[in-house]
Amino acid sequence: MVQTKKVNNHLQLIIPDDWDGLTIEQLLKEVWQLPKKRIHQLRMDKAIGMNERIVPFSEVIHSGDCMLIENIFNEHHANFSRTKKDIQFLYEDDFLLIANKPAGILTHPNTRDETNTLTNGIVSYLQEKNERGKVQHVHRLDKDTSGAILFAKSSFVGSILDRMLEERRIKRTYTAVVHGKFEKMRGTIQAPIGRNRHHPTRRRVSKNGQDAITHYQVISFDARNNQSQILCRLDTGRTHQIRVHLSHIGHPLLGDVLYGGQPVFYRQALHAKYLSFTHPLTLEKVQVEASYLDDFPDLLGEK
């Protein structure tokens, strides 16, 4: 574990054994993999100090050294309207938080007129605590999908988490209830996904689309209703990926009428159940489980 804390608008941390012998440049570029523009700005601002002195980025750091990165949190929240919401938080510290999104609201506004979103609610929550920073969602959930979403509290941390997501170091596992019985108890769907030119929001499997990989495992089957409950783990994060892939193999989600599901549930039966990753600053293992916030059709225990 790395000792870290927020000091006013600055980030202070004690260098752990794992980083002993690195240069500041290596920490920023190879460990945190910050964008070149961000590293350049930190250099120009002389924003990094070691043991209470400003040092060049070629400085070698040692276990026990005290690093201070200035003004990481000296950002204003984006121009989001404050919308007070009752949000269930699954994890929170000075640097990031994980919220349990209910179905029926957007992750973030797409226009200034949209104010009833999860991001608006989080901005309101942080402003009430007098926390500065830039709220940044690391991934998204569809409006009618519920569950765990990761947010950064600054663009600095957001940059690190974005790269971790790209490199599949943030593990997301969903539970879904679908029509039909699977032939295999587990499998992988690897099929590229692209836009449907005949529908403004629908996606489809297309040879010219982006690579998309979904792993699934059957955990329960309800023979009476011919429904299966599965766990899905994503290697990629394409729009509507799980919905498109499951429909493609003949198992659309309950309630997902856009992709062939029957309206036996008021929304698509998809919930982001588990989220796990190594905290980029403290190096602690973060694992959360998001409870259902509605009457999700859980088939656990049914055969």
For each of the chain's 303 residues, which pLDDT tens digit applies? 889 999 988 999 999 999 999 999 999 999 999 999 999 999 999 999 999 999 999 999 999 999 999 998 887 766 666 778 889 999 999 999 999 999 999 999 887 778 889 999 999 999 888 887 788 999 999 999 999 999 999 999 999 999 999 999 999 999 999 999 999 999 999 999 999 888 888 999 999 899 999 999 999 999 999 999 999 999 988 999 999 999 999 999 999 999 999 999 999 999 999 999 999 999 999 999 999 999 999 886 544
SS3 for 264?
coil
Residues 6 or more apart whose CB falls under 8 angstroms from that of 253 comprise 176, 177, 178, 179, 242, 243, 246, 247, 259, 261, 268, 269, 270
Catalytic residues: 142
* Full set of structural domains in the chain with CATH: 4-69 (3.10.290.10), 88-170 (3.30.2350.10), 172-272 (3.30.2350.10)
By DSSP bridging, strand 146-152 and strand 270-278 are: parallel
Q: Determine contact, residues 31/61, Cβ cutoff 8 Å.
A: no
Look up residue 134 and give its two tokens.
């830039």
